[in-house]
């Protein structure tokens, strides 16, 4: 048994001191004081919360293990306080069908230290030409995405939506038109036309990493009209960085950093409930790739070790969002939007949790990074809320 002593949990929007007893993979007790024979973990002064859930990460295996692999990515996630992640399918081979999915799943079972739920592709190899094998993969995947590419074949997209509806899966859209590419209109034109498809078909439709005022406005409007099947995410970088801050390729991602107006609109959407989940788009790339000239180097930054501290420091500690909203954005909404296996801070729950040091500022250093890649704009920055330990399914998967 594991006994977590003297931590604070979030209860009705407030911090309350509790001890937590874990037996095997379940929470057995949560009480003011527990004294039992068990391995004790000191959580004095720490915020103990359910393990965070990131629905948008790139772990690069199979195919690009010089950037990241399932072992390194999942260890980085555990260090960042995440116990459950969904891995994007822009791999080699891409999980298009049973055979390719099995290849990824075998690596996950062998090497993952947390719960990993792989996306399947929407179209084979994300080429937008031939629909992927929903008929088989719906048994194993919660969602499909062609992340990295907008689906511009709208006939295929609508067919995928119908299959998603049939199988109760989520379509996760990297919304981008071919003509507009990374321009703001490239995103919001795609969002607008895809909302029409999602309304018509009625499937669960989730927009990845939205970054413009108009995109959030379109989702806000759809929600106002009652379309609860339409959801969206915001990434930490779009919430705290803008285009005027770009220094080098470690500030380059897709969608790109926008102007300050769009950043403020992203924050507004976070606050008013338009944003359902915070997701990192953790996208590792090797130094050799990111040191190419800016226009030639690949899009993406790592973010899974800094997501909780960034959101806690910028939005919770400052009172912009409540503790309960923090939990919804980082844990409960991701689980609900994608119908993932549940966990939470209650007796009987799967014991997946993390403990954040919310009292002390910590400077994030390159040498502590567990990801295989270092493409990160936050190195040298100070935040509250870095995890001290993470427990997944009753096992300690990170302890600092």
Binds ligand DOR by CB under 6 A, chosen from 69, 71, 72, 90: 90
- Cβ of residue 174: shortest distance to ligand DOR, in angstroms? 5
Q: How far apart are CA 340 and CA 332, in angstroms?
A: 10
Residue 96 φ/ψ, nearest 5 degrees? -100, -25
Residue 19 buriedness (CB in 10 A; 0-12 / 13-18 / 19+)? buried
- Cβ of residue 249: shortest distance to ligand DOR, in angstroms? 11
* Catalytic residue (choose from 189, 281, 328, 357): 281
- Does position 299 interact with ligand DOR (CB under 6 A)? The reply is yes
Closest CB to ligand DOR among residues 92, 400? 92
255 preceded by a cis bond (ω within 30 of 0)? yes
Binds ligand DOR by CB under 6 A, chosen from 283, 337, 358, 392: 283
- Does position 258 interact with ligand DOR (CB under 6 A)? The reply is no
Closest CB to ligand DOR among residues 3, 297? 297
CA neighbours closer than 13 Å in the CB half-sphere of residue 37:
0
Closest CB to ligand DOR among residues 300, 377? 300
> Which tokens in the block code for residue 163?
């299959």
Closest CB to ligand DOR among residues 51, 300? 300
84 has catalytic annotation:
no
Q: Is 226 helix (H, G, I), strand (E, B) or coil?
A: coil
Give the residue from 33, 27, 26 showing the smallest Cα distance to 7: 33
* Binders of ligand DOR in range 42-81 (CB under 6 A): 58
- Cβ of residue 279: shortest distance to ligand DOR, in angstroms? 12
Binds ligand DOR by CB under 6 A, chosen from 300, 303, 334, 387: 300
* Binders of ligand DOR in range 119-138 (CB under 6 A): none
- Going by C-beta distance under 8 Å and a sequence separation of 6 or more, which residues neighbour residue 374? 287, 302, 366
**In whole angstroms, what separates CA 292 from the centre of its chain?**
27
> Judged by CB under 6 A, how many residues of this single chain contact ligand DOR?
12
- Cβ of residue 27: shortest distance to ligand DOR, in angstroms? 35
Query: What is the helix (H) or strand (E) element at residue 388, kind and residue range?
Result: strand 386-392
- Cβ of residue 376: shortest distance to ligand DOR, in angstroms? 13
Pairing between strand 170-173 and 143-145?
parallel
CA 36-16-399 angle, 5° bins: 60
> Which tokens in the block code for residue 107?
């690596």
Helices within the chain (DSSP H only): 70-79, 98-111, 134-137, 154-167, 184-201, 213-224, 236-240, 260-272, 287-290, 307-311, 323-327, 333-338
- Confirm if 232 and 210 have CB atoms less than 8 A apart: yes
- Does position 254 interact with ligand DOR (CB under 6 A)? The reply is yes
Give the residue from 212, 168, 209 showing the smallest Cα distance to 57: 209
- Cβ of residue 4: shortest distance to ligand DOR, in angstroms? 36
**In whole angstroms, what separates CA 207 from the centre of its chain?**
12
Closest CB to ligand DOR among residues 115, 173? 173
- Does position 290 interact with ligand DOR (CB under 6 A)? The reply is no
- Does position 174 interact with ligand DOR (CB under 6 A)? The reply is yes
- Using the structure block, give the residue that is written with the tokens 């931590």: 7
Q: Is 213 helix (H, G, I), strand (E, B) or coil?
A: helix
Q: Stretches 104-112, 157-165, 187-195, 296-304: which one binds ligand DOR (CB under 6 A)?
A: 296-304
- Does position 336 interact with ligand DOR (CB under 6 A)? The reply is no
- Cβ of residue 92: shortest distance to ligand DOR, in angstroms? 12
Closest CB to ligand DOR among residues 327, 369? 369
- Does position 89 interact with ligand DOR (CB under 6 A)? The reply is no
Binds ligand DOR by CB under 6 A, chosen from 47, 116, 253, 323: 253
Would you tell me which residues interact with ligand DOR (CB under 6 A)?
58, 90, 147-148, 174, 253-254, 281, 283, 298-300
Catalytic center residues: 281
């Amino acid at each position: 048994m594991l006994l977590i002593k003297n931590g604070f949990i979030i209860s009705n929007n407030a911090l309350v001191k509790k001890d937590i007893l874990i037996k095997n993979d379940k929470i057995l007790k949560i009480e003011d004081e527990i004294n039992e024979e068990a391995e004790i973990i000191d959580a004095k002064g720490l915020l103990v919360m359910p393990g965070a859930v990131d629905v948008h990460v790139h772990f690069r295996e199979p195919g690009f293990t010089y950037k990241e692999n399932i072992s390194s990515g999942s260890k980085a996630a555990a260090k960042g306080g995440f116990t459950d992640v969904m891995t994007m399918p822009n791999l080699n081979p891409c999980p298009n069908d049973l055979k390719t999915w099995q290849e990824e799943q075998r690596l996950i079972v062998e090497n993952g230290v947390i719960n990993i739920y792989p996306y399947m592709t929407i179209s084979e190899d994300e080429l937008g030409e031939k629909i992927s094998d929903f008929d088989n993969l719906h048994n194993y995947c919660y969602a499909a995405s062609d992340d990295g590419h907008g689906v511009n074949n709208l006939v295929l997209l609508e067919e995928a939506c119908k299959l998603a509806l049939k199988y109760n899966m989520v379509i996760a859209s990297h919304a981008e038109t071919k003509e507009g590419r990374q321009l703001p209109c490239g995103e919001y034109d795609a969002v607008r036309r895809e909302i029409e498809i999602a309304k018509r078909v009625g499937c669960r439709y989730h927009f990845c990493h939205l970054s413009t005022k108009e995109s959030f406005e379109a989702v806000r409007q759809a929600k106002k009209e009652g379309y609860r099947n339409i959801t969206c995410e915001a990434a930490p970088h779009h919430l705290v960085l803008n285009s005027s801050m770009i220094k080098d390729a470690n500030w380059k991602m897709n969608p790109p950093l926008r102007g300050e107006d769009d950043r403020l609109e992203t924050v507004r959407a976070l606050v008013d409930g338009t944003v359902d989940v915070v997701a990192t788009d953790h996208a590792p790339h090797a130094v050799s790739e990111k040191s190419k000239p800016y226009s030639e180097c690949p899009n993406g930054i790592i973010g899974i070790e800094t997501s909780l501290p960034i959101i806690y420091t910028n939005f919770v500690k400052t009172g912009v969002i409540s503790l309960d909203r923090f939990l919804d954005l980082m844990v409960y909404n991701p689980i609900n939007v994608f119908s993932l296996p549940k966990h939470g801070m209650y007796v009987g729950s799967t014991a997946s949790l993390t403990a954040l040091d919310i009292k002390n500022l910590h400077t994030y250093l390159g040498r502590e990074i567990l990801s295989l890649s270092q493409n990160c704009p936050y190195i040298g920055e100070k935040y509250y809320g870095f995890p001290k330990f993470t427990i997944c399914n009753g096992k300690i998967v990170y302890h600092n």
